[in-house]
Structure 1
Amino acid sequence: MHTITRISEERRKEALDLSMYAFQYKVKEEDIPEKLKHYSCQEIYGIFKEDELAAKMHLLNHEVLLQGKTYKMGGVASVATYPEHRRSGMVDALLKEALIIMKKKGQTLSYLHPFKISFYRKYGWEVFSSLKKVTLKGSDLRPLPSAPGRIVRYKKETHPAEANEVYEKFALKYGGMLIRTPYWWDYSVYSDYTLAMYYDTNGHAGGYAIYKVSDKLIDVQEYVSLHFEAARAIWNFICQHDSMVEKAEIITSIHDPFPYYLSQPKVETSFNPYFMARIVDAEKFLSQYTFNTLEKNLVITITDQAAEWNNRTYVISNEEVTALNEEERGHEAEAEGISLSINALTAVLLGAQKADVLAEVGQIAGTPEAISAFHMAVPDIKPFFYDFF
C-alpha cells in the first residue's frame, strides 16, 4: 500500500528534478523559478520513500467543449517514477487516486497524452483524438485564388482578444476541444511561435495560423479557419514563405479537408493518435450528454477496472439517466441492453469510434437490435484536440 500526498510548494523542485530525469530534458538554472511558478497552477501528488520523492503525477483543472456544453476535465500529466521504484505499483496507485480526486471535483472527463497507449488503456483511457500532419516541399507552396482582406502577425506579448473568439467558434465545430484561458494562451499555446490572423474586408477575424520559421522549415502548429475564405488566405500567407523555406509542416484535424483543395494534394500526409480520454463519472456524464431522440430506453452495462463506482447498469431515457443497483439490474435489463467497457463508451460518446464498428471487433456486446439502437442514439461528433500537457 503506497501513501500518496500532495507535494507542497517547498518540495516542488523535487518534482521538477524527477521530470527532468524521467523525460530527459534540462531546465536552465535561471528558468527554474519561472517553471516552479507554473507548477503552482497544478496539483502535484507524489509517493515518498524514506522522505525522498519516488513517483509523482500532475493534475490540471481544465474545461472542454462537447456538444456546445462545458464539461469539467481533469488533465493528467508528467507521470513519472525513478527507475529503482518502477514496477512496484506506484503509478497504478497514483492513477487510481487521480480518478478519485477528479470525481470529487466533479470532473466527468479526464485527458492525457500517453507515452504508451496500451498502458493507459488498462486504466480506462482511450484514444479519442488524432492529428493530421501534412508535409510539403517548397515547390508545393502554390497559392490559391486570393482572398480579400489582410493578415496581421502577433507575438504572445501582443495577443489579440479576437484570437480566442475565433478559436472558440472553431472549437464548436468539433468535440472535446479545450476551453483556453488567457493564462493557457500565454503559458502553453504560444511558446516562441507567431500567430498570423486573417481579417476580412470588414475587419472581422476569420482564422489564424500559429507558426514559426527556422532552418528552412515553416512549422504550422495550428491552422484554424471559420470558413474557406480564411483557410485560403492563411494558406496563401504560408505560400509567401516559399523563398525562405524548403519544407512546410502543417498540423490540423483529421476532419479538415486540407490538402484536398490544393492544386496538387498528393503530398505526404500522416494520421497519428494523439490524446486519450476517459469518462470519470459515468452517471454524471451520461446525465449531461445529449443523445438523439430515443424511440425506447437504452440499457447500458459498464465495466471499469479502475473506477469501481462506474460498474453499474444505466437506463437512459429521453428525460433522465437512472443507475441501477445490483438488485435492480436483473437478467432482463442485461438481456435487452448492451455491455461495454468504460474505454469503449468513451470512444463512442466522444465520436472517436462508432458503436457498430466496436461491436464488430468484440468491444460491445448485445443483440443486433440493442447495438443498432445505441448506434442511432449517439449524435455525430468530430473529436479534435490541439493542445498539449
Structure 2
Amino acid sequence: MEVICMSRQKLQERLKMKHVETKHGEQFNDLLRYVFQVTNHQLQTFGWENREIEQAKLPVLKQADVLGWFDGDKLISQLAVYPFQVNIFGQRYEMGGLTGVGTYPEYANLGLMNQLMRQALTNMRERKQSISYLYPYSIPYYRRKGWEIISDKISFEVKDTQLPKLKTVSGNVERMSIEHPDIKDVYQRFALQNHGAMLRNDLAWEENLRWDLDDLTAAVYYDGDHQPMGYLLYWIAGEVFHMKEMVFINQEARTGLWNFISAHFSMITHVKGHIYTDEPLAFLLEDGDIKETIAPYYMARIVDLSLFLEKYPFQPQETDCQLTFTLHDPMLEWNQGTFTLMVDEEGKGHLTGGGVNPAAAFDIQTLTTMLMGYKRPSYLARIERFRADEVTVNLLEKLIIRQQPYFSDYF
C-alpha cells in the first residue's frame, strides 16, 4: 500500500495544470472521444436522436477558456468554458458554459477535475460570469460540485391523425436555408422575451448547429405585414417529421408553423420533437392523447452570488425587505458564510457579508434553482432542501418572479 501511495504521489508531482491551446486540438478531441466512447465512424453515421452525448463536443479552442492537466506533453484531463450570455428575468448575464469535461481513467481519483473546476470557476468570476450552465452526464456528480437542475425537456410524439386542423392566419410560411438572417432575428427577439434563454452569439449558433444533418431545413412564418415572427428547423426521414426547434413570437406564428407541419399529412406518419418550457403539447391539441416524456435538461450554478444579485430583479415590494441567511458552497469560499440581503421597494437587491440571527440556510445548488425560478421556495422548503421559518419562506415567495426558465441550446 505504501508503495502504491508513493507511486501516485510521484505521478501527481509531475502533472502540470495549464491552458489547452489550439495546438493541442487533436489530443483534446481524442480524450473526449475516449471518455464518451465515440468513434469516427459513429460521428459520421449516427442519427440526431442518438447523439446528445457526442453532439458539439469538438470545441473551438481559440474561443473557449480550456484548462487541462498534462503528464509531460500528454493531455490527460480537461474542461472548457464558453463565453455565453443568457437572459435572466429580462437582464443580460454573462454565463460560463462548461463543456468538454473528461479525464483518462488511469488518472482518476487524483482530484484533478476538482482542481480544474475550481480554477475554471475562479476564471469565470474574474470575467464577470456570475452564472454557469452545463449539460450533465451525471446529475449527482455535478450536484456535489454546486450545480443544480434549472430546466426540463419534454419530448413528444404526435401521430399524423392527431395533427391540428388548419386554422386561418394572416401570414404565410416560407422554406429557406438555415443560414437566413431572419432566423437569427426571430430567435434574438424570442430569447429576449424568455427567461433563462441563451442570447446566441456566433459561437452559440455554431455550437447549436454543429452536428445537424445536411438536409436540415428552415421554415419561417411571416405575418400579414411580411415580418418574420417564428421559425421551424426540421428534417424528414422515414416518414417521420423531426422538429429540432420551433420558435415563435406570438400565438399566430405558432399556429402558422403548425399549419405548415399539418400540411405534410400525406407524407408522414409521426411528428417528433421537444419542448423546453413547462407547457405540455397535449393540452393544445384537439386529440391530446399523445406520447410525452419529461426529463431534466440543463443545470446551472451561481458562480459569484454578490455579482449575480447586482442585476437580479426581485419583485417590487411595498416596503424594503431584509433577509439574513447562511450559505454553503462545496467549491467556492466567497460563497460561504453568513450574508444579509436588502431588497428595496423597486426590487433592487444588495448583498453584504455578515449579519446576526440567520433566518434561513441554503446550499448554492438550492439557491441557484430557486433564484432561477425552476422550483419555488415553498416547494424547496417542504422537501427540506433548505431551512427557514414560514415567514421567511413567504417572503421569498413574494420576492422571486414566478417564471420557469427556457433553454433549448446544447453545447
TM superposition score normalised by structure 2 = 0.86
**Aligned partner letter, 1:184:** A
- Secondary structure of 1:177's counterpart equals coil
Deviations 1:305-336 (A, max 9, x none): 111110133322215513224xxx33x3x1xx
1:159-170 → structure 2 map (5 Å cutoff): 159-170=179-190
Q: Deviations over 1:144-173 (max 9, x none)?
A: 3232321112223xx232322322232234
Residue 155 of structure 1: aligned partner: 177
Distance 2:105 2:185 in 1: 45
Q: Confirm or deny that 1:189 pairs with 2:212.
A: no
Contact 1:131 1:254 in 2 (8 A): yes
1:323 to 343, 349, 352: 352
Task: Give a deviation string over 1:219-263, Cα, whole Å, max 9, x none.
Answer: 112121122211111111112222222221121133335332221
* Structure 1 residues 335-386: Cα deviation after superposition (integer angstroms, max 9, x where no partner): xx21111111111111100011111111111221112111211111220101
Deviation at 1:214, TM superposition (A): 1.3
Contact 2:163–2:285 (Cα < 8 Å) also in 1: no
- Per the alignment, residue 29 of structure 2 pairs with 16
SS in 2 for 1:167: helix
Q: Distance in 2 between matches of 1:51 and 1:167?
A: 43
5+ residue gaps, structure 1, are none
How far 1:203 moved relative to its partner? Answer: 0.1
The C-alpha deviation readout for 1:53-100, integer Å capped at 9, x for no partner, is: 111111101011112111000011010111211232222222222111
1:47 to 45, 49, 69: 69
Larger deviation, residues 144-153 vs 7-16: 144-153
Task: Please state whether the residue corresponding to 1:351 is helix, strand or coil.
Answer: coil
Aligned equivalent of 2:91: 69
Cα RMSD (Å) of the superposition?
Answer: 2.2
Cα separation, 2, equivalents of 1:176 and 1:196: 25
- Where do 1:213-224 residues align within 5 Å? 213-224=236-247
Partner letter of residue 211 of structure 1?
Y
For 1:58, the equivalent position in structure 2 comes to 80
- Alignment partner for residue 305 of structure 1, among 327, 330, 346? 330
Letter in 1 for 2:229: G
**Secondary structure of the equivalent of 2:146?**
coil
Q: Tell me whether 1:279 sits opposite 2:306 in the alignment.
A: no
Change beyond 3 A, Cα 1:185–1:278:
same
1:386 maps to amino acid: S
In the other structure, the counterpart of 1:127 is 149
Contact 1:67 1:172 in 2 (8 A): no
Aligned to 2:291: 268
State yes or no: 1:200 paired with 2:223.
yes
Other-structure match for 1:226? 249
Equivalent position amino acid for 1:312 in 2:
G
Which residues of structure 2 form unaligned runs of 5+?
1-11, 45-56
Encode CA deviations 1:187-234: one digit per residue, 9 max, x unaligned: 423733222110012101111111111122211121211222111111
Partner Cα distance (1:320, 1:346) in 2: 16
> How far apart, CA to CA, are the structure 2 residues paired with 1:258 and 1:17?
40
CA distance in 1, matches of 2:207, 2:364: 32
Q: Is the 8 A contact 1:255 1:382 kept in 2?
A: yes
* Match of residue 209 from structure 1: 232
TM-score of the aligned structures, taking structure 1 as reference length = 0.91
**Counterpart for residue 86 of structure 1:** 108
Q: 3-state SS of the aligned residue for 1:344?
A: helix
2:48 is matched with which residue?
none
Which residue of structure 1 aligns with residue 399 of structure 2?
Answer: 377
- Tell me, what secondary structure is at the counterpart of 1:290? coil
Percent identity of the aligned residues? Answer: 27
Q: How many corresponding residue pairs?
A: 377
Contact 1:130 1:254 in 2 (8 A): yes
SS where residue 297 of structure 2 aligns? strand
Question: Structure 1 residues 183, 277: CA separation in 2 closer, same or farther (over 3 Å shift)?
Answer: closer
Mean Cα deviation higher: 77-86 or 352-361: 77-86
Letter of the 1:274 counterpart = Y
Residues 282-297 of structure 1 aligned to structure 2 (within 5 Å): 282-294=305-317, 295=319, 296-297=321-322
- Secondary structure, counterpart of 1:346 in structure 2: helix
Amino acid at match of 1:17: D
Asked whether the equivalents of residues 243 and 272 of structure 2 are also in contact (C-alpha less than 8 Å), the reply is yes
> Contact conserved, 2:192 with 2:199, CA < 8 A, in 1?
no
d(CA) in 1 for partners of 2:59 and 2:349? 44
Q: Is the 8 A contact 1:197 1:208 kept in 2?
A: yes
Report the alpha carbon displacement of residue 36 of structure 1 after superposing the two structures with TM.
7.0
